[in-house]
Amino acid sequence: MNFSIQPKLENDKYQLIPLVQGDFEALYKVASDPEVWEQHPNKNRYERDIFENFFNGAIESNGAFKIIEKSSGEVLGSTRFYDFNEKENSIFIGYTFYGTKSWGKGINPQIKKLMLDYVFQFVDTVHFHIGKENFRSQIAIERLGGKKIMEEEVAYFGEPTRTNFVYEIKNEDNLKFDLN
């Protein structure tokens, strides 16, 4: 791999900072709200021990970020790059979540734009796993130009296998992506 899957990324409002072990409490504060996981395939991730497993998987991935609002320094959520496929020149973006107070404010498109603009310097295709009942995330990725290409069973780190849809955005389609 000729690029980092855990760079520091930022725009004028938000930063993606590589996740470290010391970020657990700040991130769990956001993740401990059951509403955050309501549509997610693993609905009990708000429970501390379940979230600890999720967090450990994030750390081990070496591609996870905490999402920071620059003006307040507040942790808003997390996301990551994972499953780089050199042969297909593709990577996944996912495991993204935000606290409910960040919902509907246009934050996710800005974060995805940062990530896509960065990673499309190195890959041709980005994929996303989205739970089959996670309608909020399906709508969000479709608004960004993601196209559903298949359904597959996904085994999350230390969690049961769940049915997910796979969406993709190709580099040439990202060029059409506009936040306005």
pLDDT per position as a tens digit, 42-65: 889 999 999 999 999 999 999 999
0.85 exceeded by pTM: yes
Question: How many beta carbons lie within 10 A of that of residue 136, not counting itself?
Answer: 14
Residue 123 has pLDDT above 90, yes or no: yes
The secondary element (H helix, E strand) that includes residue 95 is strand 90-98
pLDDT at 178: 56
Domain 9-174 matching CATH 3.30.420.10: the answer reads no
Tell me the C-alpha distance between 166 and 91, whole Å. Answer: 12
DSSP β-bridge partners for residue 162: 154
Phi then psi dihedrals of residue 23, to 5 deg = -85, 0
**Two tokens at 55?**
């967090």
| 143-179 exposure pattern, b = at least 16 Cβ within 10 A, e = fewer | ebbbeeeeeeebebeebeebebbbbbbebebbeebee
**Pairing state between β 90-98 and 9-10:** unpaired
| 24-47 exposure pattern, b = at least 16 Cβ within 10 A, e = fewer | beebbebbeeeebbebbbbeebbe
Residue 166 has pLDDT above 80, yes or no: yes
Half-sphere exposure of 173 (CA within 13 A, CB side): 15
Burial of residue 120 (number of CB atoms within 10 Å: 0-12, 13-18, 19+): buried
Summarised one tens digit per residue, pLDDT across range 86-114 is 999 999 999 999 999 999 999 999 999 99
pLDDT at 179: 54
